[in-house]
Amino acid sequence: MTTGLIFDIQRFSVHDGPGIRTTVFFKGCPLRCRWCHNPESQAMGPEIMVRPARCIGCGACRAACPHGAVDDRARCRACGACAAACYTGARELVGRTMSVAEVMAEVERDRAFYDQSGGGVTFSGGEPLAQPEFLAELLSACRARGLRTAVDTCGYAAWAVVDRIRPWVDLFLYDVKVVDDAKHRAFTGVSNARILANLRRLAELGHEVVLRVPLVPGVNDDEASIDALAALATSLARRYPVSLLPYHEIGIDKYRRLGREYLLEGVSEPTAERVAELAARLAQSGLQVRIGG
CATH (residue range 3-45+96-291): 3.20.20.70
Share of the chain above pLDDT 90, in %: 99
Thinking of the domain 47-94, which architecture would CATH place it in?
2-Layer Sandwich (3.30)
Q: Mean pLDDT for the chain?
A: 97
The pLDDT score that the predictor gives to residue 86 is: 98
DSSP 209-268: EEEEEEE-TTTT-SHHHHHHHHHHHHHSSS---EEEEE---TTHHHHHHTT---TTTTPP
The pLDDT score that the predictor gives to residue 189 is: 98
What are the pLDDT digits (tens) for 37-46?
999 999 999 9
Q: Is the confidence at residue 109, as pLDDT, over 90?
A: yes
Q: Is the confidence at residue 267, as pLDDT, over 90?
A: yes
Burial class (CB in 10 A: 0-12, 13-18, 19+), 169: buried
Q: Supply the Cα-derived Rg of the chain in whole angstroms.
A: 20
The pLDDT score that the predictor gives to residue 293 is: 79
> What CA–CA distance (Å, rounded) separates 243 from 259?
32
E strand segments, 82-182: 91-94, 96-99, 120-124, 149-153, 171-175
Residue type, 257: R
| pTM tops 0.75, yes or no | yes
Closest residue by Cα to residue 94 from 39, 153, 57, 133? 39
Burial class (CB in 10 A: 0-12, 13-18, 19+), 194: middle
Q: What is the greatest pairwise CA distance in the chain?
A: 62
Share of the chain above pLDDT 70, in %: 100
Average pLDDT in the 110-124 region?
A: 97
Q: Is the confidence at residue 1, as pLDDT, over 90?
A: no
The pLDDT score that the predictor gives to residue 122 is: 99
Please calculate the CA angle 28-30-31 and round it to the nearest 5 degrees.
Answer: 110
Q: End-to-end alpha-carbon separation of the chain, Å?
A: 34
The pLDDT score that the predictor gives to residue 197 is: 99
Average pLDDT in the 62-85 region?
A: 95
The pLDDT score that the predictor gives to residue 18 is: 97
Domain ranges of the chain: 3-45+96-291, 47-94
What are the pLDDT digits (tens) for 227-250?
999 999 999 999 999 999 999 999
What are the pLDDT digits (tens) for 153-184?
999 999 999 999 999 999 999 999 999 999 99
